[in-house]
Amino acid sequence: MNHKFDAVILGSGLAGLSVALRLANYGKKVAILTKKHLAECNSFYAQGGIAAVINEDDSFDSHVEDTLIAGAGLCNHEAVRYIVEHAPEAIDWLINLGVDFTREKDLADHIHLTREGGHSARRVLHVADATGAAVVNSVIKHVVNHPNITVFENYAAIDLITLTVDMNKVCSGVYALNASEGKVETFNSANVVLATGGAGKSYLYTTNPDVATGDGIAMAYRAGCSVANMEFIQFHPTCLYHPQAKSFLISEAVRGEGGILTLPNGVRFMEFHDHRMELAPRDIVARAIDFEMKKSGVDHVCLDISHKGKEFILEHFPTIYAKCKSLGIDISKEAIPVVPAAHYTCGGIVTDLSGVTNLAGLYAVGECAHTGLHGANRLASNSLLECLVIGKALVEKIISSGSLSYGELVDWDESQVVDADEEIVIAHNWDELRRLMWDYVGIVRTTKRLERAIHRINLLKSEIHEYYSNFRITNDLIELRNLVLVAELIVKSAFMRKESRGLHYSLDYPELSLVVVDTILDPINPLVS
């Protein structure tokens, strides 16, 4: 089956949804492809909020400075300034769509602002402790009722389709698996937008949902796009540690509102790692927890907010309270057991501030993209902001570029493949990949660990390629193929960085280099074999 649209958007997080809605309001016919249901995305699970300067006691300069400090010298200053200064406009857009941000208890006209690690002021707008869900659900209400938007749920993109037009390579569509029917369909469009999120599922422990398998980054790299700074994987310091809790995040805002980190015996430890203590940026807190766990031989640390009282906790963290209570943890009386977990992919597909990649007709926005905003470490609550600001610029770029069409595309050919004989191969390789990434390419790295990782990744790549070449596509195979490529990009980028900066910490190179550069991987002229 061959579909034609003015724009095809892969991913249904805030980046993809906002781009789709804006394009549709310009009269463009838009398709949204999502691997599961519309709300299953990283954005939905974002608890903390959206950083924006809306308080007269705050300033753009302060937000810019905080972002640059967190980014450890690798932020693109132009990108930081542009996104920060367009934040209030993005907030107004959300409010007009019906997002009801939490208000001050005694001042209903004033939006309550919380503070998170790395921020020098209260500037994080939120909807209690479930901001992502509230924002995504508000945008979805407009998306599903828009006559110019068609949603394709349970569709997994396989690969981008490229053509040569006037001696130039262009993106002209995408092949996608209709998982409900087991058929591959062709989506024809001169504007393809990757809004596929990050690659948290390349690690054994992650706060990300199962759909976060780096699909957009892998597809773009295979199609010829450059990627940058893939070594910078942000580990959230506080993921709920409980055998029955899967990937449940304990928001940064818990520390922002006075939460204290302790060892299981109640001893506080952040004072020995950073003068900002619990309010230090995420990379510092995650490394501190990792250090203390290894030093003391414990399998978790504790985050204690109980001293703030039950009324305060229920007002600010109702979702976290309810989740923990369902597992037998009353956070108004006891500390929360937490561990670090892979959380955010700071690198990605290289784009400009309009989401333009180096492949004509292909755009990227959100976590899968690299604008330079985050540098070596993302400042808390800047991610949803980037989705909105760059998403708007991307739409304006598409509209100003006019309408293009490349004619009919060739349908997917599976005449030379058969049904898989042993699905266990996929499950085994998936588990092996995630474990080796956790063990060898985690919070603290060494050259030896990276060498072990790339050796095993190369073996897995060979097995997966053989499997992909001979058997019919499944969703699990698509994701595994993408994950092993993204894992390779992470390890190769880590090899290239001979220093410790931001989220990349190497015991072999503990100091900062005097030369500050991005790590760029070009699929056409690879720097690392």
- Residues 15, 21, 27, 29, CA torsion sign: positive
* Whether the Cβ atoms of residue 20 and residue 149 lie closer than 8 Å to each other: yes
More confident call, 419 vs 488: 488
Write out pLDDT tens, residues 357-397: 999 999 999 999 999 999 999 998 999 999 999 999 999 99
Mean predicted confidence (pLDDT) in 490-517 = 95
Write out pLDDT tens, residues 45-77: 777 799 999 999 999 999 999 999 999 999 999
- Is residue 405's pLDDT more than 80? no
Write out pLDDT tens, residues 149-197: 999 999 999 999 999 888 889 999 999 999 999 999 999 999 999 999 9
Which position has the token pair 């990649």? 357
Q: Catalytic site residues?
A: 282
Q: In terms of Cα–Cα distance, which of 234, 231, 238, 248 is closest to 283?
A: 234
- pLDDT of the residue at 528: 43
* Whether the Cβ atoms of residue 489 and residue 364 lie closer than 8 Å to each other: no
Mean predicted confidence (pLDDT) in 395-402 = 94
* Whether the Cβ atoms of residue 140 and residue 88 lie closer than 8 Å to each other: no
Write out pLDDT tens, residues 438-466: 989 999 999 999 999 999 999 999 988 88
Write out pLDDT tens, residues 199-242: 999 998 898 988 999 999 999 999 999 999 999 999 989 999 99
| Confidence bin at 529 (pLDDT 50/70/90) | very low
* Whether the Cβ atoms of residue 205 and residue 342 lie closer than 8 Å to each other: yes
Domains (range + CATH), the chain: 2-152+346-401 (3.50.50.60), 235-342 (3.90.700.10), 424-509 (1.20.58.100)
